[in-house]
Amino acid sequence: MRRRLCTLLMIALTLLACNLLFPEPTTIPAPTQTSIPLPPTATDSSLPLIPSPTPFPPFEPIITGSATYDVRNVLEITNQGPGTLSRLEVTIALIPDYPPYQDVITFEAMPDETLPRVVDGYGNEYAYYEFFNIGPGGSATIELRYRVEVNELHYSWTACEGEVIQGFLGSENYINTESQEIQGIVDQIAEGETDQCVTSRAFYDYVINTLRYISYNPGDVGAVGALRDGGGDCTEYADLTITLNRAGGIPARFLEGVAYSSSSDGIVTSNETKHDWLEVYLPATGWVPMDPTWGRFTMADRDTYFAGMTDDHIVVTRGRNLDVLEGGHYYLWYKWSDDLPTIVTNEETWTITKLVE
């Protein structure tokens, strides 16, 4: 009996040692895969937020330089009478941080912002102000001051393979992708070409070769209007390039802002600082900037402003036909009068000063 107990005890100790030395394997659950939903197909009422998610990491741009600017934006709204403005509402777009293009270093608003900012579906931010009881001859003034660092960057677009997002392909006001004239041009340019980067460059070159630049026009005529007129300003150059890309199945979106042009004293002050350009989504690269207006001068300029940008373009808003501005540009105001009718005028100025290191 004693020998049997000793034998059983030895077996138990052996099994215990085996379990300690060679434990049962632990099953590790498979990692959960999180998918990033792609934005819906873009229409004028269902555009995705900015920045749009990408199905893979895009190539990073090559940053070749940077410049820093002091930017001053002043909007003055004046009551010319004869009545009193009982209430005035003003919404004005704000310069954003927008990597890798630009970084807002400092910002100051006068008067101070006391009401919540407005944010639209593109991610644009707007300051919102209310003014009361402005008599004849009186005015309301908003002054916004920024210090902005802007990068010069260039993207490689030769490796044009991969997926693209599904948004920013639809037709909207001024972006007439369903026009038969637009479709005919797209079919002619893109026939037999499978490389979207090459196709996008062909659209870009077509716009530069076809349109002639007309001095600043405060009205918008859109892509078809630009073809009809044979030209336009920077808005029409951007509209037509966006329209051709979208009609050709390449996502594209509108950028609006201000641009610095060199001057003897380093200061630029005029409405000529306002400028429009665009971004196009290229496979394996992601969103890249284009400026056919500034690319129209020389072949070197064409290369610079296709999938690249100099450090003198400052983005203010992203997207065409912005709901917050009721399809307008930069700002919007509403007025109320309790007694006599009022005539209201407004003046906006931009001052851009380049800081020398």
Nearest-angstrom CA–CA distance, 150 and 153: 9
Q: Are 290 and 277 in contact (CB under 8 A)?
A: yes
Q: What is the pLDDT of residues 312-344, one digit of tens each?
A: 999 999 999 999 999 999 999 999 998 889 999
pLDDT surpasses 60 at 45: no
What is the mean predicted confidence (pLDDT) over 126-137? 97
d(CA 355, CA 62): 23
pLDDT of 53 above 80: no
* Residue 160 banded pLDDT, cuts 50, 70, 90: confident
Residues 322/328, Cβ–Cβ less than 8 Å? yes
Distances (CA, A) of 66 to 69, 98, 153, 356: 10, 14, 9, 11
Quick one: how far is CA 211 from the chain centroid? 24
**What average pLDDT score do residues 19-37 get?**
33
pLDDT digits (tens, 9 = 90+) for 89-109: 999 999 999 999 999 999 999
Predicted TM-score of the model (pTM): 0.83
CA dihedral 283, 287, 292, 293 (to 10 degrees): 180
pLDDT of residue 272: 65
Residue 129 reports pLDDT greater than 80:
yes
The residue that leads in pLDDT, 17 or 313, is 313
Domain boundaries of the chain, sorted by first residue: 66-150+326-354, 159-318
Query: What is the average per-residue pLDDT within 16-28?
Result: 36
SS3 for 316?
Answer: strand
CATH architecture of the domain with range 159-318? Roll (3.10)
Residue 266's pLDDT band (boundaries 50, 70, 90)?
low
- Using pLDDT thresholds of 50, 70 and 90, give the confidence band for residue 60: confident
How many Cβ atoms sit within 10 Å of the Cβ of residue 263? 12
Domains 66-150+326-354 and 159-318 share a fold: no
Predicted local confidence at residue 135, as pLDDT: 95
Q: How far is CA 110 from CA 75, 76, 127, 146, 275, in A?
A: 11, 12, 11, 12, 24
- Residue range 66-150+326-354 forms a domain whose CATH class is mainly beta
Confidence category of residue 281, pLDDT binned at 50, 70, 90: very high
The better pLDDT of the pair 162, 150 is held by 150
Percent of the chain with pLDDT over 90: 72
Mean pLDDT of the chain: 85
Position 77 scores a pLDDT of: 98
